[in-house]
A and B are shown apart, each in its own frame.
Chain A
Amino acid sequence: MTNPVSLSIDGREVSVERGVTLIEAAEAAGVHIPNLCHLRGMKGVGACRLCVVEIDGSDVPATACTTKVKEGMIVATDTERVREIRRFVLDLILSMHPPDCMTCAKAGVCNLQRYAYDLDLGDSSFTRKTPGHAVEEANPFVRRDPDYCILCGRCVRVCGSQGTEVLRFHGRGLGSKVVSGTGSPLEESDCTFCGNCVDACPVGALLQVEVAKRGREWQHTKTRTACLACGSACDLVVSTNDGQVVKVGSAATAGDEARFICAIGRFGFEGQRGHMRVSRPLKRVGGELLETSWDDALSLVAERMLAAAGEAGIIAGGSLLNEDALQLKKFADGVLRTKDYDTTVSLYADSGVMLTPGGDLDAADLIVLVGLSPDQWTRVFPALDAAIRDRVSSRKAKLLVVHGGDPRIKTAASIVLAGDEVGSLEQLCRAVIDKGLAAPPEMVEALAHVTPSADARNAADLFAAADAPLILAPAALYVAAANLALLKGGAAAIPFEANARGIARAGLEGEGKGFQELVQGPSPVLYAIGDLPLDSRPDTGFLVVQSAFMTELAGLADVVLPAAAGLESDGSLIDALGRVKHVRRACEPAGEARQHGEIFSALAEAMGVSLSEVESPGGRFVEEGAPGFARFVRRSEWDIDPATLIDTLRRSVVEGSRLAWLAQLQRTDAA
């Protein structure tokens, strides 16, 4: 804390950062001030008036969500005077809210229920109002029942701040209603079904559609983990009931506005028990894949691998967890004794780029997106799109887009540099140097011939004015984009899969054949692990597929080893921005499925080697400190379309869950 303010809240002395509101300060002191409309991290609106408190020296109660702390303030949050205001407001809300806590899915986590209990309010003493609005339940994700709505506006503000801007108020006061678009159903609006409005709703007006009775909130076991669907690796809270996943939500604290997770992360969990799931080992007998035992499957694979004598190849997906990746590295080096192993990461990056430092979005006051098109609507880095739009709309950061195409994120940008990204970067760097920022002499020399455009000069003004710019680029453009960070700020390469950075640190990259060569073959045995963007059988004598899902590739295998899915795994990963995240097992693997690392050990055992006795390869580390100047080039061999890659990787999850409805809707819209 650079500038602390001390105050007293209900007799507790607390010291907080200048500029925070009373509601946040109270939270720090361990005092909860009731509220229905406040969203942490967002400007208070003072609508519900539940957060009223008394401040010494002030005649009238003040709302804690809109009042900033002052030195020496003495605040009382639970006096009879403010309790009466709270009772009055809650009593009125209860008069228009259906009194059916006994069947409401929100019971136990409903704020209205909680405060009504705290203030001893039962049935309302006011006239019962029954608006009788229609329930919206045509889509399989979000159920909206306006009769339960208390008009707090949290959903409207969450939807607006993340830039989706679908929900809004129609009308005023008690006659008003939250509507989407022009009052159309959600599926006809711009809604992406991220479901963050559901998390924000303090009552049961917005609920996740229940496929089956999932039990009451207090029966759920909650596990914090991370999503493996893309490089954002969003934090999740997984609710299980009787060992089955029943709900997935954002792991941010309740009432926090920075809670974005996308529809894949929230609703994809059903795919783990969907028809695409594979939960028993399979082997090919007479052209057909039949169920078999683990022992049989493992001894079959072990036999083929021993026979291949170092010629076997391994390809793995980029969402393999750190611990599993290290086990696989040990297996490849110490058991299979092959140099031919590689991962999907090499399709869009190399370990050199993946071992560079990440970035801190929160610290940035200018975000420079180079050649990236995060997009909530196509669900390519949707969380990055939402995070950027949120920072732009709350004026925490500005956005500069350098992109050759037409990305939707440019609507949030202050300046867009169109045309070839490398050319734009050269012009931008030159324009920034012209403004007097220090640059390495090689860079000045390399840019001697460049004349910046007017747009580039404007962008340079923006860049020079920023305190902490953060440059984000795919690996193909990272080297060129990082030159900008030599002038100011930081740069991070954004990989497309959940643990690309972790896999690079584990050194899962053999000296032999690369991914494409291994797919082209020929090889005596190919061991294909995890989610892979392959639809046809690689040229190999014996194909072993180890996956949680019956993908196209698994359908072509000789042996299929059932692996644990994301929510069934334990371990850690390093996300696209370089943060380490824990992945915790929320439920037991389906059927006989096992986690990847366990399968590697069992397979080694079947080959007569104990994996625990193989020397650990040791990880590789991130090069700290600024890299030197590199030429302005695009590594076009890494130019792949992330949308296609990500779509292929998560196809099984989508097709095995209600996300299939959404995919169908998008295909219809596109046609």
Chain B
Amino acid sequence: MSRYNRRRATNVIVLTLSLAATGLGLLVLFLILGSLLANGVPALRIDLFTQATPAPGNQGGLANAIYGSVVMTAVATLIGTPIGILSGTYLAEYGRGTALAPAVRFINDILLSAPSIVIGLFIYQVMVVRMGHFSAWAGSIALAILVIPVVVRTSEDMLNLVPAGLREAAFALGTPQWKVVVMVTYRAAIQGMMTGVMLAVARIAGETAPLLFTALNNQFASTDMDAPMANLPVVIFQFAMSPYADWQRLAWGGALLITFTILVLNIFARMLASWSGATK
């Protein structure tokens, strides 16, 4: 084979392999979504949303777990978002030239990828042990710690995208800096910052590991934030690992519910981001 043909053949092989790699990634995505639909759709009955988790062999649904997930995710987002936005503001607006800003940025990026189960251990140590019992508060705080780095990162990025001219125009009118940030910069970046919050919600909605040692689980419907609370991920974990077919069916139903909520949040967040002009 001539040198030219050999080079062309190598080229075709490499490009085919890269095509195959992409195909493989997409195939796995569709296989996962497909099996979720195939196993989850039969479990999607009205009972799923109206009845509490059953004992094995009994009729029941996931109502208490859905309630717990929604409440804890909401509380975690409410706690984590302001903290994240304010520290993101520091990095974008006040951090220039300080030694603190690069350090915070560095640590924040590590927290972004830190194992979530370790966050669960941390909250167990500082809250569950002190209070003497598992509680929905502890679960919410653990999730809030996961929200913070996501929101810090996106707020800083989005605030940096606001054109300097907008701030300078406001300063030229004699506006104090905090008013410039709150009334001009935040308004210009609000869509992007909402994207960050949505991505954070999508991230914590399916988190299981940090809840195992904090909110634990609850067989019964409970609205007490100071007591253990059922939540979808932990119920899915418990039911899927059980030998009971009806529990496993509920686990698939819950899995379908959680995945599609998260995918919709993700896709919506991306659309919001591209409308606001920020690509990525």
Partners in one complex: no
CB within 8 Å of A: which residues of B?
none
